């Protein structure tokens, strides 16, 4: 087929309209979310003392941290789904949860905490945290990669890493309703390790499946 | 240079608004620029220029299938050249060559050095033969026999809608095969 023939064929298909990447990502995440919620409901469930926990600012802070990871990661992943997009000027969005955690750790230290630092850091749920966040992330990660495949990222591994970050952020939001360790030190340690695992998986898979 | 790129942006906006002729003109207009850049990129990597046409066709397919990622408020050329760079790098990588693509290969093309001929390329044609029968029939009818969608529908006793679906799926399948092979 010569190039003129190909051009004629492409022009004949001009009427075809594809949805935007944001619409595909939203749809894929909405399909994946019930699976993650099912895993959560069957294995963990919301903690029993959730109504009292809501009066603890460090409990609430966990959601501020996980959502300040998930939402900017969604925004940046959509930005990167355009071929000419650069990371420059967008990376700081991903530092929001880091800043929030630093503020939370600082304020907990100043508030004369009830438990010694090592106990707050180690908590009681570190194993559950390391298992549950990646497990609940996987359906969301698959959905995110499926949605982002609709885009045209110039750096597929980076886009895949963002899919990992956003799915870990959403899964961690669910997990935070179960976990009784509310210390920002615990969050900064174990949530971060779990998120790093999911991000690495996202980058590895993304480098294969997000090529266009 | 600026005038040319503004014209591309305008044509792409019309194309997205449903003007098939504008889309055809746009693809015709960018092709010689892409061809010159692909040749320069191959030469820089120490590769023979005879694969340039394969790269051009892969770029055109990607432009077509990813045009929904173009922001119609943004200029068209940077988007186009980003896709072109990506496809050139992919091709060189598949050959196991050390990749060094100069951004200028795609950013600057002097109108004088644009080769005009349209060479035929082997890879799209080869992959075309691996498509399902119906998609192949429809693509061949429109590409090679220059039939319209309506004539193609009549020829194969299909509805026009079915021809459109087969056409789009065929192009998407072709692109996936080129990427993965």
Distance CA(A12)–CA(B1), nearest Å, equals 28
**Three-state SS annotation for chain A:** CEHHHHHHHHHHCCCCCCCCHHHHHHHHHHHHHHHHHHHHHHHCCCCCCHHHHCCCHHHHHHHHHHHHHHHHHHHHHHHHCCCCCCCCCCHHHHHHHHHHHHHHHHHHHHCCCCCCHHHHHHCCCHHHHHHHHHHHHHHHHHHHHHHHCCCCCCCHHHHHHHHHHHHHHHHHHHHHCCCCCCCHHHHHHHHHHHHHHHHHHHHHHHHHHCCC
| pLDDT tens figures, A103-153 | 999 999 888 777 888 888 888 899 999 999 999 999 999 999 999 999 999
Mean pLDDT, chain B, whole residue set: 87
At residue B102, the pLDDT reads 60
Distance CA(A94)–CA(A199), nearest Å, equals 13
Other CB atoms within a 10 A radius of the CB of residue A106 amount to 11
Q: Which of B48-52, B95-99, B117-121 has the lowest mean pLDDT?
A: B117-121
Cα distance from A3 to chain B (closest Cα, Å)? 6
Average pLDDT (A75-99) is: 96
Distance CA(B36)–CA(B52), nearest Å, equals 8
Residues in B closer than 8 angstroms to A12, CB to CB, are 20, 142, 148-149, 167
Partner residue opposite B139 with nearest CB, options A2, A9, A17: A9
Average pLDDT (A60-85) is: 97
Mean pLDDT, chain A, whole residue set: 95
Average pLDDT (B42-52) is: 87
Cα distance from A189 to chain B (closest Cα, Å)? 37
Residue A152 and residue B78: Cβ atoms within 8 Å? no
Q: Taking the model in full, what pTM does it have? A: 0.91
Cα distance from A155 to chain B (closest Cα, Å)? 9
Highest mean pLDDT among A15-19, A72-76, B1-5: A72-76
Partner residue opposite A152 with nearest CB, options B31, B66, B121: B66
Cα distance from A74 to chain B (closest Cα, Å)? 16
At residue B95, the pLDDT reads 74
Question: Above pLDDT 70, what percent of chain A?
Answer: 100
Of the pLDDT bands very low, low, confident and very high (cuts 50, 70, 90), residue B112 is very low
Partner residue opposite A18 with nearest CB, options B61, B68, B90: B68
Of the pLDDT bands very low, low, confident and very high (cuts 50, 70, 90), residue B109 is low
Between the alpha carbon of residue B10 and those of residues B41, B44, B73, B76, B102, the distances in Å are 28, 32, 10, 9, 27
Partner residue opposite A11 with nearest CB, options B20, B65, B86: B20
Q: Which residue of B has its CA nearest to A155?
A: B86
């Amino acid at each position: 087929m010569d190039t003129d023939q190909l051009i004629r064929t492409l022009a004949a298909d001009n009427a075809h309209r594809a949805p935007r990447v944001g619409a595909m990502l939203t749809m894929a995440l909405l399909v994946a979310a019930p699976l993650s919620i099912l895993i959560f409901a069957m294995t963990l469930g919301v903690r029993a003392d959730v109504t009292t926990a809501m009066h603890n600012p460090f409990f609430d802070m966990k959601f501020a941290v996980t959502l300040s990871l998930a939402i900017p990661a969604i925004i940046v992943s959509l930005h990167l789904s355009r071929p000419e997009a650069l990371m420059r000027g967008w990376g700081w969005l991903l530092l929001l949860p880091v800043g929030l955690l630093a503020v939370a750790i600082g304020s907990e230290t100043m508030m004369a905490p009830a438990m010694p630092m090592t106990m707050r850091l180690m908590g009681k749920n570190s194993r559950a945290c390391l298992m549950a966040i990646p497990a609940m992330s996987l359906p969301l990660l698959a959905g995110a990669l499926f949605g982002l495949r609709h885009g045209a990222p110039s750096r597929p591994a980076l886009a895949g890493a963002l899919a990992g970050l956003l799915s870990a952020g959403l899964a961690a939001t669910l997990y935070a309703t179960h976990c009784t360790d509310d210390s920002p030190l615990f969050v900064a340690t174990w949530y971060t390790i779990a998120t790093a695992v999911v991000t690495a998986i996202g980058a590895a898979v993304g480098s294969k499946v997000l090529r266009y | 240079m600026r005038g040319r790129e503004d014209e591309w942006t305008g044509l792409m906006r019309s194309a997205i608004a449903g003007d098939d002729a504008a889309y055809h003109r746009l693809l015709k207009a960018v092709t010689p620029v892409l061809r010159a850049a692909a040749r320069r990129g191959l030469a820089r990597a120490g590769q023979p220029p005879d694969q340039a046409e394969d790269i051009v066709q892969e770029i055109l397919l990607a432009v077509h299938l990813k045009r929904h990622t173009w922001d119609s408020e943004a200029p068209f050329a940077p988007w186009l050249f980003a896709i072109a760079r990506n496809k050139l790098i992919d091709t060189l990588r598949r050959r196991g060559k050390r990749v060094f693509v100069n951004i200028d290969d795609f950013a600057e093309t002097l109108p004088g050095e644009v080769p005009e001929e349209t060479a035929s390329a082997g890879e799209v044609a080869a992959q075309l033969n691996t498509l399902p029968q119906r998609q192949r029939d429809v693509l061949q009818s429109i590409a090679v026999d220059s039939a319209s969608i309506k004539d193609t529908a009549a020829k194969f006793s299909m509805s026009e809608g079915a021809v459109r679906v087969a056409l789009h799926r065929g192009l998407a399948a072709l692109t996936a095969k080129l990427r993965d092979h």
